Amino acid sequence: MWIIYGKWSIKAHSVNENDFKYILGRYKTEERAKEVINEINEAYSDFEYYKYTDASEREILNSFMKAKYEKLDTYEMPEK
């Protein structure tokens, strides 16, 4: 996380040779930025777990995942 123009920013680095940095979101407080990072980690964990479940487990998880995420493989960054 970095502070840019009085807001906490969450950035991602690319893995190519140009090493681009992308700002994923800007938040007013460090606490909110940390909350969003935790949400990203939780979503990644959920998606990975879902990806490796068998068909019977997926049926059980479908309603949970659809209720929690708009799409089953996408995490949308919160604006605030």
Beta bridge partners of 4: 7
Question: How many CB atoms within 10 Å of residue 53?
Answer: 12
Q: How many domains does the chain have?
A: 1
The reply to whether 78 falls in a domain is no
At 71, is the pLDDT very low, low, confident or very high (cuts 50, 70, 90)? low
Task: Check if the beta carbon of residue 39 is closer than 8 Å to that of residue 69.
Answer: no
- Indicate the range of 20-24, 34-38, 63-67 predicted with least confidence: 20-24
The reply to whether 59 falls in a domain is yes
For 19: left if phi > 0, alpha if psi spans -120 to 50, otherwise beta; the answer is left
The reply to whether 63 falls in a domain is yes
The reply to whether 31 falls in a domain is yes
Q: In which domain, by residue range, is 23 found?
A: 2-68
The reply to whether 37 falls in a domain is yes
The reply to whether 54 falls in a domain is yes
